[in-house]
Amino acid sequence: MSGTILEMKKISKEFTGVKALSNVNFKVEKGEIHCLVGENGAGKSTLMKVLSGVYPYGEYAGDILYLNEVQQFHTISDSVEAGIAIIYQELALFPDLSIYENIFAGNELHRKGIVNWNEAIMKSKELLNKVNLHINPETLIKEISVGKQQLVEIAKALSKKVKLLILDEPTAALNDKDSENLLQLLRELKKQGITSIMISHKLNEVIAIADKATVLRDGETICTLDASKGEITEAAIIKNMVGRDIEDIYPKRNVPATGEKLLELLDWTAHDPRTGRNVAENINLHVNYGEIVGVAGLMGAGRTELALSIFGNSRKYKTSGTIRMDGKPVKLSHTSDAIKSGIAYVTEDRKGDGLFLLQDIKSNISISNLSQLSSYGVVNENEEIKTAEEYRKSLGVKTPSIQQKVGNLSGGNQQKVSIGKWLFVGPKLLILDEPTRGIDVGAKLEIYTVMNKLIESGMSIIMLSSELGEVLGMSDRVYVMAKGQIKGELSSSEASQEKIMEFATQ
Amino acid sequence: MNILKEAKALLKHNIRDYGMYIALLVIMLIFTVMTNGLFMSSRNISNLIDSAGYIAVLAVGVMLVIVIRHIDLSIGFLAGFLGAIAAILLVQVGLPVYLVIPIILLLGMAAGSITGFLVAKVGIPAFVATLAGWLIYRGALLQATEKSGTINVDNEAFNAIGNGYIPSLAQIGGLHLLSLLLGTAAIIYYIYSAMKNRKNKMRYNFEVVSAPLFIIQLVLVSFLMGYVTWILAGYNGFSWTMIIILLVLIVYHFITTKTVLGRHIYAVGSNPEAAHLSGINVSKITFIVFGSMGMLSALSGILFTSRLQSATTTAGTLFELDAIAAAFVGGVSAAGGVGKVTGAVIGAVVMATLVNGMNLLGVGIASQYMIRGGVLALAVIFDVMTRRQRA
């Protein structure tokens, strides 16, 4: 099991004037797990798209040597045929179809157009066993968790006799336990001779699993680190990614919380009539002025559901219990009520339900507080431009103009716009749901800095997060949720990864 | 040299908007040549605009419905039915015009709100809810005209809406004075607002077109506006229908581009979830858009009844599809969030121009349908291609 499986030589790719990749060299040995790291926009995904034929031969410069032959992939199916499978961050599964139908979608086991479903089910079982997923292949995709869906994707890749498996941020949407399972699976696949390339932002995973790690920055190869030489360390990766040292990615703030209660939830229960379950049960929590309260928990613990039940009950749950703002009970039956009471919510899925991707930065920032920019219902565009400019500057959104469409911004800049929109509303309490998901290290630091500034300006923050490091690094107090309930409360001095996981797995 | 380059870039960037105007001009030019100038005669242009009116107002309404990701099939027969009610109120009940028009508009709004309620509150897909409306209003129209058949309207004031012209005040060299004045005022306002807009943009360091190109633009548009005014002034001047279309155009253009309501409508169309989480009341917006659709259907019914000077048993048949076609020719996106009032009106004018020109040329009705279908398909193909290019 030695020799080079893939060598990409001097790959360059340009998008109408913007160099996405310039002379990138990337070499992968047979049977290794090779991580590809770099900030957002560094060119990782573009490089993988070149490899998999999304950008066909001829649209890029340079050579792809795969199994010692120069390859010319014109379509994705060319690369699939050669044994290269790519699994994207956004899973490409059909939620209303079963697992086995998904595994063989586009690759049906058929004779003269007639599909042999029984064989498909049988083969699916074998494949699922290979990825340690022991469930009935007839289960619908929408009924299983994201972590299991990820495994189905891998099973699908295995069904195509994959030699080189590419995973684009496979653990971004997974909780720690599912992530660990996935990494374990990659190790097992490695034993079976499958080479993997993994794009990841989670450095601890890279350190845990990578045999080699190649760092890209601004479309160029910076270096390839080798685990056998002990080169893969957090400091080394970060340094090469950002081109500077980051001493502490969790900046300190110097404002003590006041102890005055801003928000209180008393016996708060939200019942989902569609599933007949309580998504949040007997929640008692409070947020003080000047505090960042972390809410930790595994995927499906009910954090987002809790936040949405407070924020204007967006999912139409049946709720009971009391919400108090500044000691006074409030009734929040629509998002606009919540906003009026001083609560804002930055969603975890900024592309899906946070931003208006087709509209420009200006319109995205002003949308929740147009009344302040208008008289008699007519928007004062000059004021709007001024306001948007202010937030663009203060949040450091990297863009030539506020007329830029939000859909064209990078993840970090999009997140800044979503936060900017709420800062303009001026809430007392900002609920941040996974504030740094899918964002690179540099942009994360910027988001944390913004959070601290907000606290200094008198705001309070609830941060829902699956990243333990961030919960520990940023919170004054931590609540841990599991199964819709609060299982524990920890002060920042008490909180540790182990304690949080202990509560979270109760 | 530089101007040419800039013009090229500008054209490329705004190809969807400009493409529509260019297409309209080309179509008009072709018809003018083929009919030896008959098409561009004062009388024909005036006639064309009047025949586009009742579809144009529907197109504006349905454009907004499509922007918020819904559809309304009931508007054609709703227009026909309310037109019949207008005729009944005028002829059989004997109400005066100044009462009938607001009553009909309010009825339209109420009808639209019912659709809005079904879609926004009950959660019925708009296609199904309005298909039910299509059947119901068709039946209602038949019932309203059952006893008398076609209801002839002999009210002069009412009939003027679809056939009459604004008073001339005086004729100058055979030209209609008030129309000339209005046209001149419009040109002056256009130049003023374009210059103000440009100044504003420059103040914020936004990209603007270079001065020579800007002047060319001003001259070109002013010339076109002046030319149309001159043509119309040579016949009977501006018709009331044209004034009504312009009013609808101005009001809706203002609402969609300048107001909070407009922003909220596009936000809901662009991403309903995000709009809700931004504190926008999505059902309220849905209500308003369908309510406005109902009101514009009523207006369309009034325009059509007035133009025919009678309410017929088949009034409004297929108006909804003509209006939807006009909205799509005008660049509305079926995916929601994208569409312009000016586009919808121009789309309606394009479609009316095709019908008018082909009638002048004596093209058979069978070919007419196919050609209109082809133009609709071309417009949408063009739309999809240009959007892909920009992405």
Same domain, A318 and A303: yes
For B198, the token pair is: 């440009």
Same domain, A234 and A307: no
Selected residue of A15, A362, A378 to mutate for chain B interface (largest B Cβ count, 10 A): A378
Which amino acid is located at A291 in the chain?
Answer: E
- Residues in chain A whose Cβ is within 8 Å of chain B: 311-312, 314, 334-336, 338-339, 345, 347, 352-359, 363, 366-368, 370-371, 374, 377-379, 381-382, 385, 389, 401, 403, 421
Which amino acid is located at A381 in the chain?
Answer: E
> B78 is in which domain, residue-wise?
46-164+239-347
Contact between B266 and A352 using a beta-carbon 8 Å cutoff: no
Q: How far is A339 from chain B (nearest CA, A)?
A: 7
B68 close to A (CB below 8 A): no
Q: Which residues pair with A37 in a beta bridge?
A: A215
Contact between A334 and B281 using a beta-carbon 8 Å cutoff: yes
Average pLDDT over residues A25-34: 92
Q: Is residue B364 part of a domain?
A: no
Given the DSSP bridges, would you call strands A164-168 and A114-115 parallel, antiparallel or unpaired?
unpaired
Residues of chain B with Cβ-Cβ distance to A358 below 8 Å are 270, 337-338
Same domain, A381 and A331: no
Q: Worst-scoring range by mean pLDDT, A409-413, B188-192, B215-219?
A: A409-413
Q: Is residue A350 part of a domain?
A: no
Tell me if A103 sits within 8 A of A153, measured CB to CB. no
For A352, the token pair is: 């899906």
Q: Is residue B380 part of a domain?
A: no
Model confidence pLDDT, tens digit, residues B239-257: 999 999 999 999 999 999 9
Contact between A355 and B271 using a beta-carbon 8 Å cutoff: yes
B282 close to A (CB below 8 A): no
Model confidence pLDDT, tens digit, residues A334-371: 999 999 999 999 998 888 888 998 899 999 999 999 98
Query: Which residue among A336, A379, A421 sits closest to B263, beta carbon to beta carbon?
Result: A379
- Residue A26 above 70 pLDDT? yes
| CATH code of residue A70 | 3.40.50.300
Tell me if A448 sits within 8 A of A249, measured CB to CB. yes
ipTM, two decimals: 0.83
Q: Is residue B275 part of a domain?
A: yes
Whole-number pLDDT of residue B127: 96
Average pLDDT along chain A: 87
Q: Worst-scoring range by mean pLDDT, A70-84, B135-149, B299-313?
A: A70-84
Tell me if B302 sits within 8 A of B83, measured CB to CB. yes
Q: At which of A176, A211, A242 does a domain end?
A: A242
Contact between B277 and A314 using a beta-carbon 8 Å cutoff: yes
Q: Is residue B215 part of a domain?
A: no
- Residue A1 above 50 pLDDT? no
Residues of chain A with Cβ-Cβ distance to B206 below 8 Å are 401, 403
Q: In total, how many domains does chain B have?
A: 1
Query: Which residue among A338, A356, A377 sits closest to B261, beta carbon to beta carbon?
Result: A377
B200 close to A (CB below 8 A): yes
CA A310 vs. chain centroid, Å, equals 23
Q: In total, how many domains does chain A have?
A: 3
Tell me if B330 sits within 8 A of B340, measured CB to CB. yes
Kindly state the DSSP code that residue A354 receives in the 8-state scheme.
I
Tell me if A12 sits within 8 A of A61, measured CB to CB. yes
Name the residue with tokens 């819904």.
B70
Same domain, A363 and A479: no
Contact between A367 and B200 using a beta-carbon 8 Å cutoff: no
Rounded to whole angstroms, the Cα distance separating A367 from B26 reads 39
HSE-up of residue B78 (Cα within 13 Å, Cβ side): 33
Angle between helices B365-390 and B319-329 (to 10 degrees): 40
Angle between helices B240-258 and B341-361 (to 10 degrees): 150
Same domain, A393 and A475: no
For A448, the token pair is: 């944390």
- Residue A17 above 70 pLDDT? no
Rounded to whole angstroms, the Cα distance separating A115 from A98 reads 15
Same domain, A431 and A416: no
* Chain A nearest-CA residue for B206: A401
Same domain, A402 and A465: no
Kindly state the DSSP code that residue A30 receives in the 8-state scheme.
T
* Chain B nearest-CA residue for A351: B274
Rounded to whole angstroms, the Cα distance separating B350 from B296 reads 20
B278 close to A (CB below 8 A): yes
Nearest to B69 by CA among B333, B373, B305: B333
- Residue B115 above 90 pLDDT? yes
Selected residue of B197, B253, B277 to mutate for chain A interface (largest A Cβ count, 10 A): B277
B276 close to A (CB below 8 A): yes
Rounded to whole angstroms, the Cα distance separating A203 from A197 reads 15
More confident residue, A439 or A128: A128
Average pLDDT over residues B355-381: 93
- The band of A228, judged by pLDDT with boundaries at 50, 70 and 90, is confident
Tell me if A479 sits within 8 A of A288, measured CB to CB. no
* Chain A nearest-CA residue for B390: A16
- Residue B97 above 80 pLDDT? yes
Same domain, A410 and A456: no
Q: Is residue A353 part of a domain?
A: no
* Chain B nearest-CA residue for A400: B206
Query: Which residue among A339, A354, A363 sits closest to B279, beta carbon to beta carbon?
Result: A339
Task: Please state whether the predicted TM-score (pTM) of the whole model is above 0.90.
Answer: no
**What is the maximum alpha-carbon separation in chain A?**
73
Q: How far is B8 from chain A (nearest CA, A)?
A: 17
B277 close to A (CB below 8 A): yes
B271 close to A (CB below 8 A): yes
Q: What is the torsion angle, in degrees rounded to the nearest 10, for the CA atoms of residue A77, residue A80, residue A85 and residue A90?
A: 10
Contact between B267 and A367 using a beta-carbon 8 Å cutoff: yes
For A274, the token pair is: 């569609």
Q: Is residue A132 part of a domain?
A: yes
Q: How far is A86 from chain B (nearest CA, A)?
A: 23
Query: Which residue among B259, B264, B337 sits closest to A358, beta carbon to beta carbon?
Result: B337
Model confidence pLDDT, tens digit, residues B30-69: 999 999 989 988 889 988 999 999 999 999 999 999 999 9
Q: Is residue A256 part of a domain?
A: no
- Residue B389 above 50 pLDDT? yes
Whole-number pLDDT of residue B170: 81
Residues of chain B with Cβ-Cβ distance to A367 below 8 Å are 263-264, 267, 275, 278, 280
Contact between B278 and A421 using a beta-carbon 8 Å cutoff: yes
Rounded to whole angstroms, the Cα distance separating A310 from B72 reads 35
Given the DSSP bridges, would you call strands A164-168 and A84-87 parallel, antiparallel or unpaired?
parallel
Q: Worst-scoring range by mean pLDDT, A260-264, B264-268, B381-385?
A: B381-385
Q: At which of A403, A423, A443 does a domain end?
A: A423
Q: How far is A294 from chain B (nearest CA, A)?
A: 21
Contact between A370 and B206 using a beta-carbon 8 Å cutoff: no
Residues of chain B with Cβ-Cβ distance to A375 below 8 Å are none
Q: How far is A332 from chain B (nearest CA, A)?
A: 11
Contact between B281 and A370 using a beta-carbon 8 Å cutoff: no
Whole-number pLDDT of residue B121: 92
Q: In what helix (H) or strand (E) does residue B53 lie, and over which residues does it extend?
A: helix B42-67
- Residue A439 above 80 pLDDT? no
Q: What is the torsion angle, in degrees rounded to the nearest 10, for the CA atoms of residue A236, residue A238, residue A242 and residue A244?
A: -60
Q: Is A238 helix (H, G, I), strand (E, B) or coil?
A: helix
Q: In what helix (H) or strand (E) does residue A286 lie, and over which residues does it extend?
A: strand A277-288
Model confidence pLDDT, tens digit, residues A48-71: 889 988 888 888 889 999 988 888
Contact between A356 and B206 using a beta-carbon 8 Å cutoff: no
- Residue B18 above 90 pLDDT? no
Same domain, A111 and A231: yes
B121 close to A (CB below 8 A): no
Counting one residue from chain A and one from chain B, the pairs whose CB atoms sit within 8 A come to 84
Q: At which of A423, A443, A466 does a domain end?
A: A423
Per DSSP, the residues of A311-326 read: STTTT--EEEEEEEET
Same domain, A12 and A132: yes
Whole-number pLDDT of residue A18: 62
Q: Is residue A144 part of a domain?
A: yes
Rg (CA), chain B: 21
Contact between B264 and A363 using a beta-carbon 8 Å cutoff: no
Selected residue of A343, A367, A378, A383 to mutate for chain B interface (largest B Cβ count, 10 A): A367
- Residue A295 above 60 pLDDT? yes
Residues of chain A with Cβ-Cβ distance to B259 below 8 Å are 374, 377-379
Q: Which residues pair with A70 in a beta bridge?
A: A65
Average pLDDT over residues B83-108: 95
Q: Is residue B321 part of a domain?
A: yes
Nearest to A221 by CA among A71, A17, A11: A11
Q: Is residue A227 part of a domain?
A: yes
Model confidence pLDDT, tens digit, residues A144-199: 887 888 889 889 888 888 899 999 888 876 777 888 888 999 999 999 889 999 98
For A480, the token pair is: 């841990």
Whole-number pLDDT of residue B391: 46
B390 close to A (CB below 8 A): no
Contact between B263 and A338 using a beta-carbon 8 Å cutoff: no
Other Cβ atoms within 10 Å of B311 Cβ, number: 31
Same domain, A201 and A279: no
Selected residue of A356, A368, A373 to mutate for chain B interface (largest B Cβ count, 10 A): A356
> A413 is in which domain, residue-wise?
358-423
B260 close to A (CB below 8 A): yes
Q: Is residue B245 part of a domain?
A: yes
B208 close to A (CB below 8 A): no
Contact between B271 and A356 using a beta-carbon 8 Å cutoff: yes
Q: Is residue A349 part of a domain?
A: no
Average pLDDT over residues A95-115: 87
Whole-number pLDDT of residue B265: 96
Same domain, A159 and A172: yes
Tell me if A83 sits within 8 A of A5, measured CB to CB. no
Rounded to whole angstroms, the Cα distance separating A398 from A432 reads 21
For B379, the token pair is: 């417009």
Tell me if A489 sits within 8 A of A284, measured CB to CB. no
Q: How far is A12 from chain B (nearest CA, A)?
A: 21
